[in-house]
Structures are given as C-alpha cells and as structure tokens.
Structure 1
Amino acid sequence: MTTSLDDLAEKALRGETPSREEALAVLAGPDELLDVVAAGARVRRHFFGRRVKLNTIINMKSGLCPEDCSYCSQRLGSSAEILKYSWITPEKAAETAGQAVRAGAKRVCLVASGRGPGDRDITRIEDTIAAVKADSPDVEVCVCLGLLADGQAERLAAAGAHAYSHNLNTSEARYSEICSTHTFADRTGTLRRAGHAGLSPCSGAILGMGESDDDIVDLAFALKELDPDSVPVNFLIPFKGTPLADTWELTPERCLRILALFRFVFPDVEVRLAGGREIHLRGLQSLALHLANSMFLGDYLTSEGQPGADDRQMIADAGFVIEGTDERTLPDARHDLVAIRRRGAGSDLPANA
C-alpha cells in the first residue's frame, strides 16, 4: 500500500475519497486488521464521537414479491419459510414503532415487498406515517417501497417521511447476475428521484454474494456519486430456498475490512451496521462499532436479529452511547442536506426492540 493508514485517515478527515489502489489495499493489503480498524475508528470518532444511532425495521408487507433478486427470501420463486402477509394497519405499525422508539430507536424504516408502490400503497404509507408521528413525533421515518414513479417521492415527503431507502446492493457490472427483473440504473434513478423530492437518500450494499474486491470498490464509488446521507452495510443472510442459500464466504475480518473501506469512502456519512452482522461478525460485532456509527435494533425484514437488550448492552460495554433524538446524526458540514419534518409486524409476537 503506497499510502499509510495514517495518511488514508487524514485524507478522510479532509473529505477526500481514497484512490482505487488505496481502497483495494484496505480490503486485501498487508496491514494488520486492528491497524485498519484503528485508522477507520479515528475517522468515525472525529465526525460522530462515541454515538450510535439506532434504527428499526417494520415490514409492512412480507413475501410474494414479483422481483427475482437472488439474495432475497421474498423473491419470485423463493421457498424460504418466511412470514407472508399483506399490509399491516397503520395502527399496528405505530404500535411497533413506539415500542422501538422507547427502546432507543431514532429512525423507523417502513418497508414493503414489491417492485414499487401503486397510488393506494402510497396512501397506506401516508396514513402510517401520520399514525407513527402521532405517537412518536420526533422519530425519523424512512420509507423503502422499491422503484418510485413520478410524483410518489413528493407525496412521501409531504406526508412527513424523512428519508427514502433503496440499496444498490452490488456493482453495476454484475448486477444482472443478481437480478434480472430490474436494472442497476432503475435503482439509481429511484434514489435520484427521492433526493430531488427532498428526501434524505439512503442506499447501501449487500456483501458476501460472490463479489470481488473490485466489485466492492466499484459499488462504494457508485454510491459515493449518489451522495447518500446514510449507507447501510448488509452481509448476506443465506436463506434456504433462495439461489444464494449455500453462499457462506464471509469472515469477521472480511466484514470489518469492508466496513473500514466504507468509512474511508463515507467519512462524514451515517454508515449503518445492518443485516447479517450477528452471523458473520459474531464475537467481533462490538469492534464494528468503531467503524459504523449506526445499526439496526431488533429484527430485520424476514429474519430475527439479536435481542434489543443485548444490542444495548453491547453498545454500553464497548464504551459507546445511544444517540438521542435531539442530537444531530450528521456533522454540521452535511446537516443542511437533511430536511427533518419530525418485530413483530404480521405476527402475534412483540417487536424485538
């Protein structure tokens, strides 16, 4: 690596993007893992201190998606034995959101399976945002409904949504290997549409799907061009019944190096520790907090996460604190890009927050 880790951290502190050679060296260079983490942690502390932002997912509608994304348990043709249900009510969503907020969540992510929403679906989400805000007025609401049509992002923003989430997931060069029913360009188009409507753009990755180091760097740089405010980093959960069911290629070290790369590329952006962290990082989850300043609390879309109490204990044991609702997530230099307007779903069990 021609650039030392100290130099790489200095570049990030100045807001400079690493070169391709530097990015590849983070993933597979000669530097010891703890040295890589320490360099990334320096950047994380500079912009976010020891705060950890908690987010929770509410799966508004689960399963039976017409898209064929290979990683997804809800995909067309999936035989994964997940919960399948139609839209939950706004009241149920608000109840679940309130429980998560009381457990420390600052952002609630309303997610529904499908290619994209129809007008009736947008109305459902508008009603759900109203119900959530009535109970938890200060919570951020992020929406994830797939590909957006003209005017839909504006409706979500007017309803009080704070952000729109749509992951790029993998590099453009191999996107067709992962999904054939829509394109990489479809995804970037939706992110731009959401941003133009005033929604905070949220977009990230799913790693561990057979991608190369070059693919990871390509993806990180493509995300950088979209200038997201939050970047979720997911690690593949290989569901039985999906094409990637037997894909187990990640190690804790690989995950940490990936997180370090994303921190160097996105020094002042919310880097979120997302799906798959429990099964791939295992005993090194708390080390990841030195790179990511945000994480999901409780369960994911179709899989169960670590109990919320364990997450909160992990954060405290590692010397971090949960970010309060009255604290800014992004540093001042980026805050003008964010315009805040202020478990259980589909089952009989309480939310895992």
Structure 2
Amino acid sequence: MPVLEVLKDHILQGGEISAEAAVVLRSVPLAALCAAAAEIREKRCGSGFDLCAIVNAKSGRCSEDCRFCAQSGRCTADISEYPLLPEEAVIAAAHAAQAGGALRFSIVTSGGRLSEEELESVCRCVVRIRGETGLSVCASLGLLGVPQFTALKKAGVERIHNNLESSEKFFPNVCTTHSWREKTAAIAAARSVGLSVCSGGIIGLGETMEDRIDMAFELRGLGIRSVPLNVLNPIAGTPFAKNRPLTDQEILRTVAIFRFILPEASIRLAGGRGLLADRGYSCFKYGANAAITGDMLTTAGISPQRDREMIASLGFEVRKDG
C-alpha cells in the first residue's frame, strides 16, 4: 500500500503521524495528498466551519521588529497609525462582525503589551460586546502575563491569540526583540487562568517546508486546536518586501500537510488569503475548516457575504469550534 494511504488510514483510525512521516508528504502527488487531507478533515472534524472577524484596535508604532509586519516602528510601510480606538468604535466593529455572520470577534492591538489603562479599556469593551452581541470574544494583545489574562477572562474573553509565527529554529530570522520562548510562556500564562489559545504562523517568510512542518509539530505539542495560517503579503517598506510570493500549489500543500499533523484542529486561513486565485476555495475543500472574514490588520480581506457563499457551496456549516 502506498505510504500516503498508510498514513491517511492511520489518522482516520484516530492515530497521529511522526515528524519523519510528515516529511515524506513534501513529495507525494499534490492531488492525492489533497484528497487524503479532505478525508481526514471530514472524518476527524465533520462539517463545522469556524468563522471569526477582527478589529485592528491599535495600529502601528510598534516597538517590535517582526520583519513581516507593516506595523513595526522600525519599518517604513505606509499604513494608518493610531492609538487604542475609542470604545464605541470597537463596539461598532463587533456589531458589524456579527451582522456579517462571524461567531467570534477578536480585538487585536499592536505593540509588545498593553498599558494598564489600555487593558482596562479593552476589558470594558469585552463586557459590552458580551452583553450586546452573541459573539465569543478573543483578544490578541501581546506578551501579557497572568494578572492581565486574569482580568481579560473575568471580563469575558474566551480565547487568546498569540502566533508562534514560524518554527523555533527559524524564528530568529523573523524577530529579534522577543523570543519564541516568550511567546510560549505567554501561551502557558493564558492557559493557566482558563483561557483557550489560538496560535499559528505565517508562511512565505523564507522558511523551508521542514520549518513549516516543525511549527505544526510544535503547535501539536502545545495542544493548540485553533491554528491560523497566514500567507505573507510582501508589503513595501518591510524587510520582507521582496520575498518570493508562494504559489497557490505550495500553499495548498502546506495546508494539506498541516491537516495530516493536526487532524482535529481548526486550520484557519487568515491574512494573505486574498492572494490566492480562488480566495482559499481549494484550501477549504482540501483541509482547512476555518477563516478570518472581512478586513485584516493592514490589508483588505474578503467580504463576509462572499465567504458565507463559498462556505455554503462547500457543504460546511458555520459553527464555533469549541
């Protein structure tokens, strides 16, 4: 029996594959790999599709040097810069997200961490969103600690987002102002107070497929069940502006391999999805089962209506992943 079939059947029966086995998936025929990933998604996850929206609640002027990010204060990208949005603006964005069909809403801010005053404002927003909408609230607020995560949970946040960005080995090529270990420490702190965690990364930073596979296994080791996959959108003024854009086939293979490694995860297409010719349709058909809808942080996204139509055409049902 071909190795792909052996690995697929093992996962369909509830098993997990090894890192050595995953590396083999780099070279198997793409069509067969994608078909197998679709089977795994259907068997291990069903037809649910988790849909979330985000608000860029504080933009730019970031002290960190993440080389992909237009919000870094160390790059010259032309973006809108502003301090923490007024609470009414965040609430309005949440209502718009619910009207667009999202089930989750994430408040995202630039910078290493929020000030005490900013955190209090975010918490007030969370309380109102929970009271005025049916949305589950997530937050991506930097490298916080237990006291801050405790306050967020008390306000009503359910999930914290903190991307690993890439594998631990490749991470120093991405950022030098904080470490991969600081990220996993923040993830552990969030979990210690009862928050769930959403964590993934970006592909197209110059990493190899082995780096992506390493990241997937690192996520599996951390027990992450919501995994956003961003595709680098090279932005003028950032250090990665001249990176080679990934082909649709390379992105599709990455998604399928992630499904083999993380058979029960919500693999969430996020930033850069608009770069794909089919806006992610093939990735959803062959492994992914979640998305961020609407605009991203500094780039345009895909309209919620178009996403809902695409999701329905694939036979998915929009529902929360847990």
Q: TM-score, normalised by structure 1?
A: 0.87
**What per-residue deviation string (whole Å, max 9, x for no partner) do you get for residues 235-283 of structure 1?**
111111000001123111111111111111111121111111120x222
Q: Given the alignment, which residue of 79, 93, 96 partners 1:96?
A: 93
Root-mean-square deviation (CA, aligned residues, Å) is 1.6
| Aligned equivalent of 2:22 | 23
Change (3 A) 1:122 1:13: farther
Change (3 A) 1:316 1:152: same
| SS state at 1:272 partner | strand
Residues 181-330 of structure 1: pairs in structure 2 closer than 5 A: 181-279=177-275, 281-283=276-278, 285-290=280-285, 291-323=287-319, 329-330=321-322
1:191 Cα offset (Å):
0.6
1:185 Cα offset (Å):
0.5
| SS state at 1:289 partner | helix
Range moving further from structure 2, 201-210 or 265-274:
265-274
Distance 1:168 1:14 in 2: 29
1:3 Cα offset (Å):
6.0
| Aligned equivalent of 1:32 | 29
Contact 1:235 1:276 survives alignment (8 Å): yes
Contact 2:37 2:256 survives alignment (8 Å): yes
Give aligned pairs, total.
321
2:119 equivalent to 1:122: yes
1:15 Cα offset (Å):
4.1
Distance 1:202 1:3 in 2: 34
| SS state at 1:111 partner | strand
Distance 2:136 2:239 in 1: 34
Distance 1:35 1:141 in 2: 38
Contact 1:48 1:329 survives alignment (8 Å): no
| Aligned equivalent of 1:338 | none
Contact 2:51 2:292 survives alignment (8 Å): yes
| Aligned equivalent of 2:162 | 166
Contact 1:252 1:284 survives alignment (8 Å): no
Contact 2:90 2:125 survives alignment (8 Å): yes
Distance 1:161 1:6 in 2: 41
Distance 1:197 1:121 in 2: 20
Q: Note the residue ranges of structure 2 that are not aligned, 5 or more in a row.
A: none
Amino acid at match of 1:65: C
Q: Given the alignment, which residue of 83, 105, 122 partners 1:108?
A: 105
| SS state at 2:146 partner | coil
1:209 Cα offset (Å):
0.5
Amino acid at match of 1:230: S
Q: Note the residue ranges of structure 1 that are not aligned, 5 or more in a row.
A: 331-353
Distance 2:116 2:225 in 1: 27
Contact 1:54 1:297 survives alignment (8 Å): yes
Amino acid at match of 2:100: A
Change (3 A) 1:152 1:305: same
| SS state at 2:197 partner | strand
Contact 1:220 1:262 survives alignment (8 Å): yes
2:59 equivalent to 1:62: yes
The alignment-based identity, stated in percent, is: 35
Distance 1:11 1:65 in 2: 45
Contact 1:146 1:166 survives alignment (8 Å): yes
**What per-residue deviation string (whole Å, max 9, x for no partner) do you get for residues 153-202 of structure 1?**
11111111000010001111121111110001000100111111110011
Distance 2:73 2:87 in 1: 26
Change (3 A) 1:3 1:76: farther
Distance 2:170 2:18 in 1: 22
1:142 Cα offset (Å):
0.7
Distance 1:273 1:7 in 2: 27
| Aligned equivalent of 1:345 | none
Change (3 A) 1:110 1:284: closer
Amino acid at match of 1:122: L
Contact 2:146 2:193 survives alignment (8 Å): no
